[in-house]
């Protein structure tokens, strides 16, 4: 959080960092400023409450997992610590999960070179959708980043060319985990169906 600048009483700080006497500010501008600051204050309170909520939920889920392990010798969750818990009546479920955020190192360029060799040789005899899929995988998104999911999906193609196999190994070797994101999501079952809808904490979706 940015450090708060001390403003003398009776003044407001403008966008250029200048102290402006409130008597010189239009009433509408003062009203707008007060409204924005009130909304910001409530938003910051909600943000802190969500941080606290997430920490408590993770702690409580971890405690339940520990109890299950101690009492029954059971292990809840996969290798990354993912776990799904259901209410007794099955109406609600809580998903605690961790996901790796990955990027590719310089070995991806070697994989691309091998793939390009294959494409030059296959271009006349290959199905056009395969060529399009491969080319699209290496296009960058709006932020200029390689779309990791599209590149990793290439490994599911059943291609036996030795260069392709080496390229897929290079892609696997190029994967680097940058950070791991942890999240919790709460769902409610839709009527008597097997479908669950998330209980949204996104202000744009409520």
Q: What are the tens digits of pLDDT across the range 175-187?
A: 888 888 888 899 9
CA 113 – CA 171 distance, rounded (Å): 11
- pLDDT value at position 140? 72
Q: Which of 33-47, 112-126, 154-168 has the highest mean pLDDT?
A: 33-47
The total of other beta-carbon atoms located within 10 Å of residue 83's CB is 19
- The whole-model pTM stands at 0.61
pLDDT at 127 over 90: no
At which residue do the structure tokens 């290798």 appear? Answer: 79
Joined together, the tokens standing for residue 199 give 């209980």
Q: What gap in Å lies between CA 144 and CA 117, rounded to an integer? A: 24
For the segment 124-128, the average pLDDT, to the nearest whole number, is: 64
In the chain, % of residues over pLDDT 70: 89
75 pLDDT band (50/70/90 cuts)? low
CA distance 155 to 20: 61
Average pLDDT for 191-202: 92
């Amino acid at each position: 959080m940015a450090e708060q600048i001390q403003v003398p009483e009776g003044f407001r700080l403008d966008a250029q960092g200048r102290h402006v006497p409130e008597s010189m500010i239009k009433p509408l501008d003062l009203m707008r400023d007060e409204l924005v600051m009130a909304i910001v204050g409530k938003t910051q309170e909600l943000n802190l409450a969500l941080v606290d909520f997430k920490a408590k939920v993770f702690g409580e889920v971890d405690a339940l997992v520990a109890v299950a392990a101690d009492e029954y010798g059971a292990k809840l969750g996969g290798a990354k610590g993912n776990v799904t818990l259901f209410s007794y009546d099955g109406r609600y479920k809580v998903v605690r999960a961790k996901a790796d955020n990955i990027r590719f190192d310089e070995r991806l360029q070697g994989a691309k070179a091998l793939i390009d060799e294959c494409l030059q040789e296959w271009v006349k005899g290959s199905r056009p959708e395969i060529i399009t899929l491969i080319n699209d995988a290496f296009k960058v998104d709006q932020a200029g980043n390689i779309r990791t999911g599209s590149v990793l999906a290439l490994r599911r193609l059943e291609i036996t060319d030795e260069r392709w196999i080496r390229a897929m190994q290079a892609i696997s070797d190029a994967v680097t985990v940058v950070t791991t994101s942890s999240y919790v999501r709460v769902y409610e079952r839709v009527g008597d169906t097997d479908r669950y809808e998330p209980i949204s904490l996104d202000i744009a979706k409520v």
